[in-house]
């Protein structure tokens, strides 16, 4: 795909600033109309988008619709329903010292936004933030990933067919284009991708003090306690790990499992894989492939970091990797220090005394399974997601003593499916939140306005502060 030129990027940036400052995006009626146009476009272009997802990722229509199309449609409906209320000017209490004034909280759009998305959910992760930009009254430049060229071209054609370039535009290309984009001045940069690239984005934004929303990733733990329903845990974890072939920012990344249920889980996991994908996973049209040869090589490279106890089959010609469980993993190996982003699952077994059962791990005990789990998680970067299977009260206690962007008790992934709650990372897994009202908020500035009167003009605020003692008592 041809790179968008720097001159074109500069021209789009200039045109969008002029369009924004014209005030055209401010009316709620305009925003609702544009949200509806995006909704109509999603209907019109659904087949083209789904076909492109199959071409780039081998993502079936069902999975494409459930994990991409439907989520964007749901977000659009939500914002159409609520944007008027979110944008409404609100009166705030004014204390006696400000008598006789009135105070207001006003929501205003930040302005011209840049949205950069990754390849793993290329429709959802580009268009969901766009919903927030439209809802808040911003303009937007969209930068899809070059690693999914069919999807990126489909989105470009859809946006060009739907919106004026002065309002919403698509820019295509590699990292050189990203560099050119980041050299422009924006009012907000919304980036979804890796922590490493996020540092580049944040450094560029810092030059102009541009606010950023960073939706990143990390190694999300999955804890399986001895109180877990193993059949349910295995089914939900098998589904969550094979969704998009593990190429999901909130996919469970590694398992911390109680020794008493480890063997039962491995057996149940294998059974659930057959239930989800049949005897030959490779033949299942719902099983997604690695996005590139480079990704295939990187993920299969993890096989050497431990002992395979389930799976391990690959096919380089199709970029196919069978879901794979690996044990006896060294804690400093790439498998335990890098985000896997594939269907490979390290399994770390812990006994009642908190001892990690592995010949690669030195003698160590934290006194209990829960203490070891807590210390294991908190000694690493804060993850984007956290998953616990077992007694709910124990899950809440471990959640209380750890930190993550979000998570589930006795489930995986599904917290993102609730369009009424925010989504975002913490620490190394991101900053800022979106979805529902949070999407509107992150593209908005909250402005405080005081309305005063010319009479009475009370003298106590003026020099030489004759009423200071009285005023002090009011504060």
- Dump pLDDT digits (tens) for 88-108: 999 999 987 788 899 999 999
Residues 245, 318: Cα–Cα separation, whole Å? 13
pLDDT at 55: 97
215 catalytic? Reply is yes
249 catalytic? Reply is yes
Q: Which position among 112, 138, 249, 442 bears the catalytic label?
A: 249
- Dump pLDDT digits (tens) for 319-336: 999 999 999 999 999 999
pLDDT at 362: 58
The model's pTM is 0.94
Residues 419, 330: Cα–Cα separation, whole Å? 38
The string over 71-80, giving b where at least 16 C-beta atoms fall within 10 Å of a residue's C-beta and e elsewhere, is bbbbbbebbb
Q: How many domains does the chain have?
A: 2
Domain boundary among 378, 407, 422: 422
| Residue 462 resides in a domain | no
Per the structure, the complete domain to which residue 399 belongs is given by 221-422
CATH number for 441: 3.40.605.10
Q: Which position among 215, 272, 327, 441 bears the catalytic label?
A: 215
| Residue 314 resides in a domain | yes
- DSSP-derived letter for residue 423 is B
CATH number for 407: 3.40.309.10
End-to-end CA separation in angstroms for the chain: 63
Q: Which residues contact 263 (CB under 8 A, 6 or more apart)?
A: none
pLDDT at 469: 78
**Is 434 found in the same domain as 352?**
no
The segments of the chain whose pLDDT lies below 50 read none
């Amino acid at each position: 795909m041809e790179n968008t030129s720097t001159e074109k990027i500069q021209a789009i940036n200039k045109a969008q600033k002029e369009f924004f400052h014209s005030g055209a995006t401010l009316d709620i009626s305009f925003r609702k109309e544009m949200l509806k146009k995006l909704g109509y476009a999603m209907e019109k272009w659904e087949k083209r988008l789904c076909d492109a997802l199959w071409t780039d990722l081998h993502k079936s229509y069902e999975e494409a619709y459930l994990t991409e199309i439907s989520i964007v449609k749901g977000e659009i409906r939500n914002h159409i329903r609520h944007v008027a209320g979110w944008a409404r000017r609100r009166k705030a209490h004014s204390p006696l010292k400000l008598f006789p004034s009135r105070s207001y909280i006003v929501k205003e759009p930040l302005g011209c936004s840049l949205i950069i998305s990754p390849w793993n959910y290329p429709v959802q992760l580009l268009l969901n933030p766009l919903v927030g930009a439209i809802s808040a009254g911003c303009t937007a430049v969209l930068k899809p990933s070059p690693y999914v060229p069919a999807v990126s071209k489909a989105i470009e054609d859809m946006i060009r067919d739907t919106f004026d370039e002065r309002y919403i535009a698509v820019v295509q290309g590699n990292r050189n284009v990203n560099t050119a984009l980041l050299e422009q001045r924006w009012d907000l940069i919304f980036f979804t991708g890796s922590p490493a690239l996020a540092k580049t984005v944040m450094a560029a934004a810092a030059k102009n003090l541009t606010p950023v929303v960073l939706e990143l990733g990390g190694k999300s733990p999955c804890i399986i306690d001895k109180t877990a329903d193993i059949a349910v845990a295995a089914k939900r974890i098998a589904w969550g790990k094979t969704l998009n072939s593990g190429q999901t920012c909130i996919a469970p990344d590694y398992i911390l499992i109680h020794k008493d249920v480890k063997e039962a889980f491995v057996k149940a996991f294998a059974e659930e894989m057959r239930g989800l994908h049949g005897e030959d996973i490779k033949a299942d049209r719902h099983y997604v492939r690695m996005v590139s040869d480079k990704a295939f090589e990187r993920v299969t490279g993890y096989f050497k970091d431990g002992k395979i106890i389930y799976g391990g089959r690959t096919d380089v010609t199709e970029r196919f990797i069978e879901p794979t469980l690996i044990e006896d993993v060294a804690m400093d190996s790439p498998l335990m220090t890098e985000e896997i982003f594939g269907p490979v699952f390290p399994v770390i077994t812990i006994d009642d005394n908190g001892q990690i059962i592995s010949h690669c791990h030195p003698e160590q005990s934290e006194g209990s399974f829960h203490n070891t789990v807590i210390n294991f998680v908190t000694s690493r970067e804060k993850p984007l997601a956290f998953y616990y299977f077992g007694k709910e009260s124990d899950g809440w206690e471990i959640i209380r003593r750890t930190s993550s962007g979000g998570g589930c008790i006795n489930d995986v992934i599904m917290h993102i499916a609730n369009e009424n709650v925010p989504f975002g990372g913490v620490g190394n897994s991101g900053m800022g939140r979106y979805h529902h009202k949070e999407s509107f908020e992150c593209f908005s500035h909250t402005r405080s306005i005081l309305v005063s009167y010319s009479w009475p003009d009370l003298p106590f605020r003026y020099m030489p502060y004759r009423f200071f003692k009285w005023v002090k008592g009011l504060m």
